[in-house]
Structure 1
Amino acid sequence: MLVLPDELTHATAPACCRMLAQALRSDPSAQAVADASALRVFDSSALAVLLECRREALALGKSFAVANLQPRLRALATLYGVGELLPSAT
């Protein structure tokens, strides 16, 4: 499970992206799940990080889903037209 931090903004996105990409590469499982339950402070950069995680996971042959996506971030993803790229984990 990829755990998002409590704050994910433009200032923290590059470091978070590197950390999550490293975790993806070292995890042998076939499914990548990003857990957004801790996420409290975010901007649109959080979407960019999740989309980059998705891209990296797919490049590694893994499926990708997001668990516990905050309703405001889900609404933002829908507004930007990328909601379907961030499926909910079951």
Structure 2
Amino acid sequence: MVTLPAVLTHAVAAGFTDGLKQAVLSQPGEVVADASALQEFDSSALAVLLACRREALAAGKAFAVRGAPARLGQLARLYGVADLIPAAA
């Protein structure tokens, strides 16, 4: 599981994505991004999730998001990427 931090804004997103590839590769199967801790975020959170998805798919793994705040879902729909970040079962 890849756990997103409580704050994921433009100012911190680049630093978070630095270790993303390694985090994805360390997952044994499906890559699940846990967004339940997100409290302060902007569209950069979507960029991080999409980067995580790209890394997962490149590694031949499924990708899903768990615990996404409602506002994150609203942003995803607004930007037209909601289908790319599916909710975990």
TM-score (norm. length: structure 2): 0.96
> C-alpha displacement at 1:20, in angstroms?
2.5
**Could you tell me how far apart the structure 1 residues matched to 2:78 and 2:59 are?**
28
Which runs of structure 1 show a deviation greater than 6 angstroms over 4 or more consecutive aligned residues? none
Partner of 1:5: 5
**Could you tell me how far apart the structure 2 residues matched to 1:11 and 1:22 are?**
21
Partner of 1:33: 32
Partner of 2:87: 88
> C-alpha displacement at 1:21, in angstroms?
2.0
TM-score (norm. length: structure 1): 0.95
**Could you tell me how far apart the structure 2 residues matched to 1:6 and 1:80 are?**
22
> C-alpha displacement at 1:22, in angstroms?
1.6
> C-alpha displacement at 1:34, in angstroms?
0.2
State, as a whole percentage, how many aligned pairs show the same letter.
58
Give the paired residue count.
89
Provide, for residues 31-82 of structure 1, a one-character-per-residue CA deviation record: whole Å limited to 9, x for no partner: 0000001000000000000000000000000000000011001000001100
3-state DSSP of counterpart to 2:50: helix
Residue 30 of structure 1 contacts residue 61 of structure 1 at CA under 8 Å; is this kept in 2?
A: no
Shifted more, 14-23 versus 37-46: the winner is 14-23
Whether 2:59 is the aligned partner of 1:60: answer yes
Q: Any residues of structure 2 matched to 1:13-28 within 5 Å, and which?
A: 13-27=13-27
